[in-house]
A and B are shown apart, each in its own frame.
Chain A
Amino acid sequence: MTPLHNHINGNSIIIYLDRSIYSSNVILKCLYWYGDKFHTDFRSLDSTYYCVTLSVLAAETEQTDLEAYQLKFERDIIDYSLRDTVTKETANIRDLLIAKAFSNGEYDEEPAGEVSDPVGFDVHAINPYQN
């Protein structure tokens, strides 16, 4: 199959996105920011590609503007993909951070490291309740 190329057709920008690279979540987050200037259409083309069509709302938009928007979309989709990576990889640590921030000690851990042990005895071995 010949590779599909993003292109401009009349008043629309047509973008093809490889489903193995971009999730629908990422595409939707990116498309959200185009709704002020374009009708946005997003559908599955086949098992390999998604197709996004951005059709301008203002009829007087110039061809050069459309080219600029195509370029912007191509950049933005990568940015949103990167954001998605950070969001997914850091979801747990973010939850932990916020839980700790608003807790009253429930999520506190043993002091990390051994900074409170200047003379070098093992604080973990000391049990204050030992007879």
Chain B
Amino acid sequence: MIVSTLSRPNRKFKDTDYFSVKTETYFLMPFRFHRLNSQREVVVNEVGDHLVYPTGTVARIIGREIDKQLDSELYADLIAGMFISESPIPALIDVLATRYRTKKSFLDDFTNLHIFVITLRCEHTCHYCQVSRVTTDKDAFDMSKKHIDRGIDLMMESPNPFVTMEFQGGEALLAFDNIKYAVERTKRLAVSYNKKVTYVICTNLAVITMEILEYCKENGILLSTSLDGPGFIHNQNRRRPGNNSYELTVAGIEMANNVIEKDSISALMTATNLSLAHPIEIVEEYRARGFDSIFLRPISPYGFALSNERKNKYAMDDFLSFYKTALQHIIAYNLKGEFFREQYATIILKKILTPFPVGYVDLNSPAGAITNVILFNYDGNVYATDESRMLAESGDYTFRLGHLDSSSYEEIFYGERAMEIAEVMTNESLPGCSECAFQSYCGSDPVHNHATQGDIWGYRPTSTFCRKNMEIIRYLIELMDGSEEITKVFESWIR
């Protein structure tokens, strides 16, 4: 007997009609949208996939006006990206759920970055520095061995098999003996706790020596330094006796390049009012020093930095024009074939263009504070972030989670304070952010909200965090929408 395969209800291959709905319309899936400019708008789904269309398209999508035949390409893109669905629950919802989980997988292992403020002493008096002290009083301003030990023990308790131990200051290298002590103890414990530890020293390089560099090389320690631009900017921002911070930093970078791997040293710039007029010169300085990237950062608004208003308080809009000019300059080099990237854009582009999470603590939801970073201060206090300790230096202890002498891991990481902060750590549930198209590319920063607006929830319309991120994200998508060449450049940055 011949059985017609067409009559078998469970045959694998169906006629094409089987896959299309007989109803006239489609179902909306969760997505958000934003006007990129007067002509274009972007739609972003729950896992961060985006599509850019002429203005008015979103209203048509929501109004069920997209016709499967007449708008076949648009319709197919929307179905493929799960912006719309032909059934109330799309067949591939589990795939979407897995992608959502992947995007949030930075939470899986919990805290990675453990910052040890090894000393508050410094030989610089940078006008925007919030915390440092010019002193030789080691007892008062260096982290004690007891606190170093306890910090390391807590780090070993982290569920994360990969941890980063970052030494900050003051000038961390003024307490190099303590760094050595900490690294040696951590090395021993990491074996028994099965942890892979990345070591980073943040330093202005003024007191770097061959002996220190050799030790860094031996132990794979990374150096993170500060370079604000050419001498006339750097020395103005970073004051020290002799006014030679730039010369010392550049000499330090060269010395380091001769001893440790090129990738083992990176530099950060902080833009001050003076910097804002010199975007090109700053990028050129980084190229001249042999770097193939730059991280363009506005000055942080914390602690002592607020007390120098005239110098530090420039409008975020001024920073944004500075940022765009520098970015255009960088893109132009890339279009001519030279690889050079801007790191903040790279972080955001990774979020826009890849399915993976990016463990950048300032741009996560839930926020990176506690879940991703913790700080052990020189005096034993434990803070949620680096910025939190800067607030503490001006007398605001809102983000103090405990003390190394007395608090357990649970009390610090899951205590009452941590829980209060956790309430405002997801931008999915913050006013303004909850319906923002850029939610999955952006983050939440309760510490910034508190420091700049006096409220951990924050108020988006006047938030500099929001202003900066909304405009940079919009601008990056607009650039990609307008040029395939720039899209290719951006893709090369995230590889």
Binding site for B on A (CB under 8 A): 29, 32-36, 78-80, 82-83, 85-87, 89-90, 93-94, 96-98, 100-102, 108-109, 112-115, 117-122
Contact = CB atoms under 8 A, between A and B. Distances in A.
B96 interface: yes
B10 A33 contact: no
A90 B461 contact: no
Contact of B30 (A33, A97, A117): A97
Contacts of A78: 59
Contacts of B454: none
Given A83-B32, A93-B30, A97-B30, A112 B101 contact: no
B57 to A, nearest CB: 11
Interface of A is mostly: helix
A98 B97 CA distance: 7
A85 B28 CA distance: 9
Interface of B: 8-12, 27-33, 35, 46, 58-59, 62, 88-89, 91-94, 96-98, 100-101, 104, 431-432, 435, 459-462
Nearest to B10: A122
Contact of A100 (B10, B29, B94, B431): B94
A114 B35 CA distance: 40
B460 A101 contact: no
A90 B29 contact: yes
A35 B459 contact: yes
Contacts of B30: 86, 90, 93-94, 97
A108 B62 contact: no
Contacts of A35: 459, 461-462
A101 B91 contact: no
Contact of B100 (A97, A112, A113): A97
Contact of B88 (A93, A97, A120): A93
B33 A108 contact: no
14 contacts: A34-B461, A36-B462, A79-B33, A80-B435, A90-B29, A93-B88, A96-B93, A97-B96, A100-B97, A102-B104, A108-B94, A109-B94, A112-B91, A120-B11
A89 B62 CA distance: 10
A33 B461 CA distance: 5
Contacts of B92: 112
Given A112-B91, A114-B10, A120-B11, A90 B35 contact: no
A117 B93 contact: no
B52 to A, nearest CB: 16
Given A120-B11, A121-B10, 10 more contacts: A32-B460, A35-B462, A80-B435, A83-B435, A86-B62, A89-B28, A93-B27, A101-B100, A113-B91, A120-B12
Contacts of A82: 33, 58-59, 62
B12 A117 contact: yes
Given A93-B29, A120-B10, A29 B435 contact: yes
A101 B97 contact: yes
A33 B460 contact: yes
B62 A85 contact: yes
Given A32-B431, A101-B101, A112 B29 contact: no
Contacts of A93: 27, 29-30, 88-89, 93
What 3 A-B pairs have minimum CB-CB distances, sorted nearest first? Answer: A100-B97, A36-B461, A112-B91
A83 B33 CA distance: 8
B31 to A, nearest CB: 6
A114 B65 CA distance: 31
B12 A101 contact: no
Nearest to A90: B30
A115 B12 CA distance: 7
B423 to A, nearest CB: 17
Contact of A117 (B10, B27, B58, B100): B10
Contacts of B432: 32-33
A97 B92 CA distance: 11
Contacts of A121: 10
A35 B46 CA distance: 28
Contact of A101 (B27, B35, B98, B431): B98
A57 to B, nearest CB: 11
Nearest to A122: B10
Contacts of A96: 89, 93
Contacts of A118: 12
Most buried by A among B10, B58, B100, B104: B10
B28 A86 contact: yes
A108 B89 CA distance: 13
Contacts of A122: 9-10
A19 B29 CA distance: 27
A119 B8 CA distance: 12
A51 to B, nearest CB: 21
B25 to A, nearest CB: 12
Nearest to A28: B431
Contacts of B435: 29, 80, 83, 87
Contacts of A119: 12
A45 to B, nearest CB: 25
Contacts of A87: 435
